[in-house]
Amino acid sequence: MGSEGGVLKVETRELREEEMPFWMALQAGMSVAQAEQLSYDPLIFHCWVLGAWLEGNLVGGMEVVRSVRPDYAVGVNAVVAATHQRIGIGSLLYKERGRFLLERGISKVVTAVSIWNTGSLIFSLNKNMARGVKYLRDCYFEGEDKLWMEKDLREATSVFDEAGVGESYRGGSQENFVPVTPKELFLNSRPRRLLESLVNTDGFHVIGLVRPRYSGCDNNLLVLKPRREGGDNE
Ligand SMILES: CC(C)(COP(=O)(O)OP(=O)(O)OC[C@H]1O[C@@H](n2cnc3c(N)ncnc32)[C@H](O)[C@@H]1OP(=O)(O)O)[C@@H](O)C(=O)NCCC(=O)NCCS
C-alpha cells in the first residue's frame, strides 16, 4: 500500500466490521473520529463493503447486498473521495467486486442510477461495460427516473480488458440516441416516453452515454442498441 517510485499502490479488499467508521466518514465527508461517535444503520453490517486503501486512508468503497435471486447481487452505494476521483480507483473497486462475487457464485450485479448522474452513467456504461436494461420511471419519488443497470460479471469488466475491446461503445450503424435534457424539461418530453418504451418494451439496452459539444447542443445522449438474441442479461 502506498506510493513507490511515483506509482500509486491501491489495495482493494472487503472491509472488516471495525473499519466501518472509515466508510461512514468517507460517505459523509467527516473525520473517522467523528464517525466513531455515531450509530449506523444495521444495513451496513449486513452487506459486503469493499474498500480501496491508499497510504492508510480509505479513498473509495462499494456496498453490495445479496438478492433473493441467488445469482444476483445489488450494488447499493459507490463512492470515491472527491480528491481521488478519475484516477482509476472506482474501476479497481468494480473489478474487485466482480472477482469477489464470482468467487461466491454470484454472476450479476444490478444497480439503479439516476439518469441525470452523468459521471456515474459514463463510469458504469462507457468505462465498465454495464448495460441499462430497465427504465425506472418515478423511482421512489415522482420525477426521479433511474436506469436499472446490469453487469454480467462473466463478461469483460473494463473496456481495457482484452475481451472487452470492440464490445465497448465505439459508434456504428445500429445505435439509437436519445437526448436527456435537464430534469424540468425532460419529465414531460417525448424522449422520456421514447426511452421508457425502447428499454422496457422494445428490447433495447442502453450501452453508453455521449456528450456532443457542438453549437446549440448541451444534452447528454444515451446510446441504445437492440438486445442480443439469447444474449445479454437474460
Ligand atoms: C462514480 C465514481 C464512483 C467513479 O469512481 P472513479 O474512481 O472516479 O472512477 P475511475 O477513475 O475508475 O473512472 C473514471 C471514469 O468514469 C467516468 N467518470 C467518472 N466521473 C465522471 C464525471 N464526473 N464526468 C464524466 N465522466 C466521469 C469517466 O469515464 C472517467 O474516465 P476519464 O477520467 O478517463 O474520463 C466516482 O466518480 C464517485 O464517487 N462519484 C460520486 C458518487 C456517485 O455518483 N456514485 C455512484 C452512484 S451510487
Per-residue pLDDT, averaged over 39-45, amounts to: 82
Render pLDDT for 63-90 as a digit per residue (tens, 0 to 9): 999 999 999 999 999 999 999 999 999 9
Residue nearest to atom 37 of ligand 1 (CA): 85
| In-domain check, residue 86 | yes
The pTM of the full predicted model, rounded to 2 decimals, is 0.89
Q: Which domain holds residue 95?
A: 2-169
Is 23 contained in some domain? yes
Taking the CA of residue 81 as reference, the ligand 1 atom at the shortest distance is: 39
pLDDT for residue 7: 78
* Residue 26: CATH number of its domain: 3.40.630.30
Question: Is position 191 within any domain?
Answer: no
Of all atoms in ligand 1, which is nearest to the CA of residue 120?
1
Q: Could you tell me which residues come within 8 angstroms of residue 35 by beta carbon, excluding any fewer than 6 positions away?
A: 21, 22, 24, 25, 28
Please tell me the predicted confidence (pLDDT) of residue 13: 97
Res. 1 pLDDT band, cuts 50 70 90: very low
In eight-state DSSP terms, residue 181 is: -
Residue 216 domain-assigned?
A: no
Q: How far is CA 20 from CA 4, 137, 205, 213, in A?
A: 28, 33, 36, 42
pLDDT of residue 4: 60
| All cell numbers assigned to 105 | 457464485
pLDDT digits (tens, 9 = 90+) for 127-143: 989 999 999 999 999 99
> Residue 179: inside a domain, yes or no?
no
Q: How many domains does the chain have?
A: 1
Distance 139 CA to ligand 1 centre (A): 22
Q: Say whether pLDDT at 166 is over 50.
A: no
Q: Is residue 7 part of a domain?
A: yes
**If you average pLDDT over residues 7-26, what whole number do you get?**
93
**Best residue for ligand 1 mutational test, from 10, 74, 85 (most atoms within 8 Å of Cβ):** 85
Task: Identify the pLDDT of residue 57.
Answer: 95
Distance, CA of 64 to CA of 62 (rounded, Å): 7
Question: Is 190 among the domain residues?
Answer: no
Please tell me the residue having the least CA distance from ligand 1 atom 5. 90
Ligand 1 centre distance from Cα of residue 79 (Å): 9
- Name the residue among 147, 153, 165 with its Cα closest to residue 220: 147
